[in-house]
Amino acid sequence: MYVLFETPAGFALFKVLKEGKLKDSDNLHKDFATGEKANKVVKLKAFKKFKDTKEAMKSTEKLVKGEMSKTLQKFLDKNIVQKGVEEALMLADKKLGKVISEKLSIECKTGSKANELMRCIRF
C-alpha cells in the first residue's frame, strides 16, 4: 500500500512497509515515536517539489475542491501507473480518491486509518 501525503513544499509518496501496524490505528502513534521506528513502518518512495508558489497555490486550490491538479496527476502517473504498481493508495480526501480512481484506475482508500496514518507521518 502507498500513502499520498500533501505538504506545502510538494507531494510525497510513501510505501507502507508493515500494513499490519495499520490494524491498530489507536496505537499507531507509538510506531512513529522516533524517526527510526517510523522508518520501519513507512518509507519515502518519491517526492515532487513544487516549482514555485504559483504551482503550489494551483495544486492547493484543486485539492480544496477535491480535484486533481496536473502536477499531482503527472506525479501519480509517473510513480504508480507507469511503474505498474497494483497496490492501493491511501489518502485523506475521499472526493480526491474518487477522482484519482476514475482518471488513473488506482484503488484509493480513505477513512479513520488513513487519517491516523497522515497524522503520524506529519508528526
Q: What is the DSSP string of 1-26?
A: -EEEEE-SSEEEEEEES-GGGGGGGG
Q: What is the DSSP string of 41-98?
A: TEEEEEEEE-SSHHHHHHHHHHHHTT---HHHHHHHIIIIITTT--S-EE-S-HHHHH
Q: Are strands 108-109 and 42-49 parallel, antiparallel or unpaired?
A: unpaired
Spatial neighbors of 4 by CB under 8 A, at least 6 apart, are 11, 12, 13, 76, 89, 90, 91
**What confidence score (pLDDT) does residue 120 get?**
87
Helix, coil or strand: residue 40:
coil
pLDDT in tens, 52-89: 999 999 998 988 888 899 999 999 999 998 887 788 99
Q: What is the pTM of this model?
A: 0.85
pLDDT in tens, 16-36: 987 777 777 677 888 888 888
**What confidence score (pLDDT) does residue 104 get?**
92
**What confidence score (pLDDT) does residue 98 get?**
93
Amino acid at 12: A
* Bridge partner residues of 4 (DSSP): 13
Q: To the nearest whole percent, how much of the chain has pLDDT over 70?
A: 99
Set of cell numbers at residue 79: 510513480
